[in-house]
A and B are shown apart, each in its own frame.
Chain A
Amino acid sequence: MTPERYAAMVRLTTSRRKLLRGASGLGAAAALGLGGGLGAAVRGAFAQSDLRTEILKIPGVGVGSPTDADWQQVGEMTLGPTREIVQQGEFQGVELTFMGLNNQNLHNFLFRGFLRPWEAYTGARITWIDLAQADYNPRLQQAIATGTVDFDILEMGAPFEGDVCGKGLASEMPDWVKQVIDMDDYVGYLKAPVGTWDGKTFRISIDGDCHNFNYRTDVFSDPGLAAAWKAEGGAGEWGVPKTWQQVQAVSKFLKGKKLGGQDLYGYLDAPKGWGGFGFYFLGSRATAYAKHPDDPAFLFDPDTMKPRINNPAWVRAIQDVIDLLPSQPADQLNADPGTTAFQQFLAGTGSMLAWWGDVGSNARTSDSSVVGEVVGFDILPGSDDVYNSRTGQWETLASGPNHAPNMAYIGWGIYVMARVDADEKKRKAAWSAAAHLGGKDISLWMAAYPSGFQPYRNSHFNIAEWTAAGYDEAFITSYLNSQANSYNHPNAAIEPRIPGIFQYYSVAEDELAKIFAGQYSAQEGADRIAAAWEKLTDQIGRESQLALYRASLGL
C-alpha cells in the first residue's frame, strides 16, 4: 500500500481497525471513492467462498437497512469477473443509458451503487432513467410503439419479452456473458424458453418471481387460539392453513380475536388496483382452483384464446375474496398490495399474506418490520378440489390437495437494447454492465437483503451461507424452501409472456374493484372481465396472441 493511498483512507475516516480487518475494509474504502486502485487488493483478498461470506456481512442481518455505501462496497467486491474480461479504462468515453425502477432503496437505487465501481474501473458513464412502478409499463410501451427507444440497458420483467424481443428491439447475448453470469446456475423455470426468443437469448435474470405464503408463527402456535379453535368447532388441529378452504375458515375465526392485546386478522386481500400488478393477488388465490395438473393453461384457452377468468374456478376465487372482506380490517377495500405487505403484514396487521419474496427478505432486514421473529413461509395454499376446464368438472385428486404456485411476473431481468449493436465498444460495455448486475455473487447479496429481488439460482439455496450471514436457520430454511418448492413445483402456474398482458390485468382490476365494492356478483363481474379481455385480444391481434400464448406454454 502506498503512503498516498494510506493517507487517502485516513482522510476518508476509515479507521485503522477497519484497515487491519482486511479486504472488507479495503473494499469499503474503494467504494467510498478510491476507484479501481484498491480493487486489485480486493480481488486478491478473497477466495470465491470467502467473497460470498464477506458480502453477506454487509451491512449484516439485523443491523438495519443497507445504504448506498453498502451497495457500492458490494459492487466493488464483486467486480472480479469484470476485471477478467475488461481492461481498466477500456470503455472510456462510452455513455450508456439505463432505464429501471426507482422504488425507494430498491432496484435502480441499488444498481447505481453496484455500478459506480464498475464505472470507475471501466471508464464508462451511465445516465439513469428512473421510473415509478406504475409509470414503467406505459413508458416502455410508448418507447416501443413510437420507435423512440432512448435507453441502452433495460430492467424489465419477462412478461414484456413479447413486446421487446418479439419486435427485434433487444440485443442478443454474447457467449462470454453466459459464461460470466453462469446461466446454468438458474433455477429450472428461468431457463429457456424464458429469456429467449426464436432460439436467441436476450435476458440476464436478476430475480425469480413467485408468490409464496407468509404467515405469523406466533398466531398459529398460540395455545389460547388453539383452545378457542377447538371450542368453536374448528375442523382439525389449530395450525398453519394448507388449503384456501382452511385459509377462509381460519380468517373468519380470527375476526374479533386478540393476541398480546392486538386485534387479530387472518388473510389479507389487496382489492385496490395497483397498475395491473394487483391482479396477481387474485391469481394467487385462483391458481389452486384453476391450474389443473394435466393442463398447462389457466388464464386463457390455449386453442381459442378465450378467457377462463369467468369459469367456475376463477369465480370461486373472486367469491372467496368477497366472502372474506368483512373479516379483514375495515379499510381493506382501499388496500393495494403495497399496503398489505409493508403497511399491514410487516407492521403487524394480519396473519397470512401471499406476496413475492420481498416480505421475507424485508422481515428481518428492514427497519420498519416488526414481525421478523414471528414469520414463517410456505408455498401457496392448495385446494381440496381443482377445476378441469376440459371436462368442465371439479375434481378431487388422488394425490391430495391441488397446489399450483403462482410464478407471478417471472422475475426481473436485465436486457441490452439492439441500438448498441452498431458500436462494438458500446455493445461490450452495455453487456459488461448488465453482466455485473447479474453476476453470481452479487445476486446472493440481492437475494439476502432488500433489493426488490428474490432467490433465483440454485446456489442461492445453500442454507449455510445464509446462517453464516446471521440468519436464523429455522427462519431462512422456511423462507428458502418456500421459494425453491414453488420454483420446482410440477404444477407451477407460469405467466404467459404475451404482448399487453398488463392491459388484461388493468382492465380486470377496474372490474374487480366494482365486484368487491358490491356492484356486481362474482360471476357477473367475471363475465365483464372476460368480455373486455376478448375485445383486447381482438384489438392486439388474436392470431398473434394465440401463437405467442401457446409458445409461452411450450405447446
Chain B
Amino acid sequence: MVAGTATSGGEQARAVAAPVAEPRQRAGRLLLLVASLLFAGVVLAQILDRADVLGLGLTTWRPTLYAYVIWGIALCRAQVLIRGERGQQALFVLPAVLFTVAMAVFPTLFGFTIAFSDWNLSAFAGRRFNGLDNVRAMFRDPFYWNAMGNMVLYTAAVLVEYAIAFALALLLNAEIRARKFFRVAFLLPLMLSPVAVSWMIGKSLMEYRWGPAATFARWLGWENPAFFATPGIAKLSIMAIDAWTFIPFLMVMLLAGLQAIPRDLLEAARVDGANAWQTFWRIVFPLMLPVSLTAIVLRIIFKLKLADIVINVTAGGPGGATDTVTSFIFREYRDRSNVGYGTMLAMFYLVLIIVFMTLLLNLVARFMRRVT
C-alpha cells in the first residue's frame, strides 16, 4: 500500500513537470557543446604541449583542472536547461558524481597508467611506458610474494583475535564490577596511533635490554627474550602488537551485538534447563553470527593494510619474516623512488583485495542464508 502510494506520487510528479521550451533546450545543448569543446581543446593542448608538439610552456595540469570544473558547471546548468525539473533533480547527484570522478575514478585510472610505466624518480629520462614489464617483474619478485605469504598468516590470525575479543565481550556484557570502567579501558589501545603503539610496545615494553616484557620473560626462564630476532617469534610478536591494538575494535562490535540479544530468549533457555555452555553455543553464538561476520570482514580489511607497526618495529625483518605487502610497497616507493613498479604492486594488491573481499562477502552471504 505504501509502495503503491509512492509510485503513484512519482508518476504524479513526472506528470506535472512542465515541458521545457525548445529555445531553452537549444541553449542548454549549445552550452554543453561549447563547454565540452573547451574541455577537449584544453586537454588536447596540454597533451600536445607535454609532447613538445606545442610550445605553450605549461608547467602544471591546472588548466585541465579548471576546464573540467567549468565543464562540470556547464553540464549541471545544461541539465536544467534541457530537462527542466528533472534536470534539477539530477543536480542532487551530479556534483557528487563529478567530484567522485575527479577525486577517485580519475586518480585510479591514472594510477594504472603509471603502473605500466618505467618511472624511477632519479632517472633523467623520466617516465616511460614499458608495457607488461612491471607485471613480469612482480611475478618474479621474491620479496613481494614473501610479503604476500606473510599476509595470509596475518589474516588467519584474525580468527584468534576474534575468539579473544568474543571472550572479552562476554565478560564485559556480564554483570561485573566496574563494567563501565573496563569498557573504556579496553578501548584505549584502539584510540592510540599504531605508530605510538610501535614505540610503546614494540620498542619499549618489548625492548631486549630493559623492556618490562623482556624482564618478565627472563624471570619466567627465557634466557634471551629477543622478540624480533628470529623469524617465527618476530612474526608472532608483530601479530600480538597488532592484535592488542585492534581486538578492542572487534570487542566493541561484538559487545554491541551481545547487548542486542533479547533477554527473554536467554531466560527462556535457562527455564528450559540449558546450562551456560549450551546457552552460548545454541543461542548466543548463532544469534551473533551476522555481527561476527561483519566484524571479521572489517577486521580483515584493516589487517590487509597492516604496515605502520612493521615499518617502525622491524622494518620487515628479520630477513623479511614480518614484511607486509604494504610495508614492502612503502620501501619500494619511498626508499627507492621506483614509482612505476611500486604503483603496479599497489594496483595488483588492490585488485587482489577486491576479488578476495567479493568472494568472501559472497561466501558470507550464502552461509548466512543457509543458517537463517
CA A539 to CA B118, docked complex, whole Å: 8
Contacts of B120 in A (CB 8 A): 500, 503, 536, 539-540
Q: Is B335 an interface residue (CB 8 A)?
A: yes
Q: How far is the CB of A535 from chain B (nearest CB, A)?
A: 9
Interface assignment of B63: CB less than 8 Å from any CB of chain A:
no
A334 touches B314 (CB 8 A): yes
CB-based contact B319/A517 at 8 Å:
yes
B226 touches A331 (CB 8 A): yes
B229 in contact with A137 (CB, 8 Å): no
A275/B317 contact (C-beta < 8 A), A539-B123, A541-B123 known? no
What residue in chain A is nearest B209 (Cβ atoms)? Answer: A349
- Check A147 for interface membership: any CB of B closer than 8 A: yes
Q: Which of B208, B227, B317, B335 lies in contact with A502, CB distance below 8 A?
A: B335
A544 to B122, CA, bound (A): 11
Is A519 a contact of B229 with CB atoms below 8 Å?
Answer: no
**What interface size band does chain A fall in?**
35 or more
Q: How far is the CA of A416 from the CA of B339 in the complex (A)?
A: 27
Task: Tell me if A331 and B319 are in contact (CB < 8 A).
Answer: no
Contact of A503 among B118, B207, B224, B336 (CB under 8 A): B336
Say whether A138 faces chain B, with CB atoms less than 8 Å apart.
yes
Of A33-41, A194-202, A382-390, A508-516, the one contacting chain B is: A508-516
Taking CB atoms and an 8 Å cut-off, the chain B residues in 315-330 that contact chain A are 315-321
Task: Assess the B336–A334 pair: CB atoms within 8 A.
Answer: no
Give the distance in Å from the alpha carbon of A400 to the alpha carbon of B76 in the complex.
83
Q: Are B319 and A135 in contact (CB under 8 A)?
A: no
Distance in angstroms between the alpha carbons of A329 and B228 in the assembled complex: 12
Report yes or no: A519 in contact with B319, Cβ–Cβ below 8 A.
yes
CB of B35 closer than 8 Å to a CB of A: no
| Cα-based distance from A145 to B125 in the complex (angstroms) | 10
CB–CB A517/B121 < 8 A: no
A276 close to B337 (CB less than 8 A): no
Does A181 belong to the interface (CB within 8 Å)? no
Q: Is A142 an interface residue (CB 8 A)?
A: yes
Contact partner, B337, options A134, A141, A517, Cβ 8 Å: A141
Given A147-B59, A500-B120, A541-B123, residue A138 in contact with residue B335 (CB < 8 A): yes
Query: Which of B126, B209, B333 is within 8 Å of A138, CB to CB?
Result: B333
Are B335 and A334 within 8 A (Cβ)? Answer: no
B 331-352 binary contact with A (CB < 8 Å = 1; else 0): 1011111110000000000000
Which residues on B sit within 8 Å (CB–CB) of A502? 335
Q: Are B123 and A334 within 8 A (Cβ)?
A: no
Chain A residue with Cβ nearest B126: A145
**Chain A residues near B92 (CB-CB < 8 A):** none
Q: Which chain B residues numbered 8 to 35 have a C-beta less than 8 Å away from chain A?
A: none
Residue A330, interface by CB 8 Å: yes
For residue A332, CB closer than 8 A to chain B, the reply is: yes
State whether B226 touches A141 (Cβ < 8 A).
no
Whole-angstrom CA separation of A497 from B345 in the bound complex: 30
Nearest chain B residue, comparing its CB with the CB of A277: B335
Q: Is the CB of A541 within 8 A of B125?
A: yes
A332-376: CB near B (< 8 Å → 1, else 0) gives 111010000001000101000000000000000000000000000
Q: Are B317 and A330 in contact (CB under 8 A)?
A: no
User: What's the nearest-Cβ distance from chain A to residue B209, in Å?
Assistant: 7
A144: interface (CB < 8 Å): yes
In angstroms, how far is the closest chain A Cβ from the Cβ of B193? 15
CB of B122 within 8 A of CB of A503, answer yes
Q: Is B124 an interface residue (CB 8 A)?
A: yes
A135, A138, A333: the one within 8 Å of B229 (CB)? A333
Of the listed residues B208, B334, B335, the one surrounded by the most CB atoms of chain A closer than 10 A to its CB is B335
**Is A272 located at the chain interface by the 8 A CB criterion?**
yes
> A503 CA to B335 CA in the complex, in Å?
6
Measured between beta carbons, the chain B residues less than 8 angstroms from A271 are 317-318
Report the Cα distance A515→B319, complex, angstroms.
7
Q: Is B231 an interface residue (CB 8 A)?
A: yes
Asked whether A272 lies within 8 Å of B335 as measured between CB atoms, the reply is no
Report the nearest B residue to A137, measured CB to CB: B335
Cα(A336)–Cα(B318), bound, Å = 12
For the complex, what is the distance from the CA of A149 to the CA of B228, rounded to whole Å? Answer: 39
CB distance from B220 to the nearest CB of A (A): 16
Of the listed residues B208, B209, B226, B319, the one surrounded by the most CB atoms of chain A closer than 10 A to its CB is B319
B 271-322 contacts with A by CB, 8 A: 313-321
Q: How far is the CA of A513 from the CA of B321 in the complex (A)?
A: 10
Asked if residues B333 and A272 are in contact (CB atoms below 8 Å), the reply is no
Residue B186 at the chain A interface, CB threshold 8 Å: no
Q: Tell me the nearest residue of chain A to B119, going by C-beta.
A: A145
Would you call B335 and A500 a contact (CB within 8 A)? no
By the criterion CB–CB under 8 Å, are B334 and A331 in contact?
A: no
**Residues on the B chain within 8 Å of A167, using CB:** 124
Contact residues in A for B254 (Cβ distance below 8 Å): none
B234 within 8 A of A: yes
A329–B208 touching, CB < 8 Å? yes
Q: Return the chain A residue nearest B311 by Cβ.
A: A134
Report which of A135, A272, A500, A536 forms a contact with B315, defined as CB distance below 8 A. A272
A490-534 CB mask vs B (1 if < 8 Å, else 0) is: 000000000110110011001001111111000000000000000
- Verify if A452 is at the interface (C-beta below 8 Å from B): no
Say yes or no: B320 contacts A507, CB within 8 Å: no
With an 8 A cutoff between CB atoms, is A163 at the interface?
Answer: yes
| Separation of A546 and B12 alpha carbons in the complex (Å) | 77
Contact between B121 and A145, CB atoms less than 8 A apart: yes
Q: In the complex, what distance in Å separates the CA atom of A519 from the CA atom of B146?
A: 12
Which residues of the partner chain A approach B230 to less than 8 Å between Cβ atoms?
A: 333
Task: Enumerate chain A residues within 8 angstroms of B112, measured Cβ to Cβ.
Answer: none
- Residues in B neighbouring A506, C-beta threshold 8 A: 331, 335-336
* A144→B313 CA distance, assembly (Å): 30
A134 lies within 8 A of B320 (CB): no
- Asked whether any CB of chain A lies closer than 8 Å to the CB of B199, the reply is no
The verdict on A273 contacting chain B, using a C-beta distance below 8 Å, is yes
User: Cβ of A510 and Cβ of B314 under 8 Å apart?
Assistant: no
Instruction: A156 to B81: give the CA distance in the assembly, Å.
Output: 57
The answer to whether B122 and A540 touch across the interface, beta carbons within 8 angstroms, is yes
Confirm or deny: B244 has a beta carbon within 8 angstroms of a beta carbon on chain A: no
Q: In the complex, are the beta carbons of B316 and A513 less than 8 A apart? A: yes
> If the complex has contacts A334-B228, A506-B336, are A513 and B320 also in contact, measured as CB distance less than 8 A?
yes
A336: chain B residues at CB < 8 Å are 315
* Interface positions of A from 122 to 141, Cβ below 8 Å from B: 134-135, 137-138, 141
Known pairs A502-B335, A517-B319; list 16 more (Cβ under 8 Å). A137-B337, A141-B337, A145-B122, A271-B317, A272-B315, A275-B334, A275-B335, A330-B226, A331-B226, A334-B228, A347-B209, A500-B123, A503-B337, A513-B317, A514-B319, A540-B122
A-B residue pairs in contact (CB < 8 Å), sample of 8:
A138-B334, A272-B318, A332-B229, A347-B209, A499-B124, A507-B336, A516-B319, A540-B120
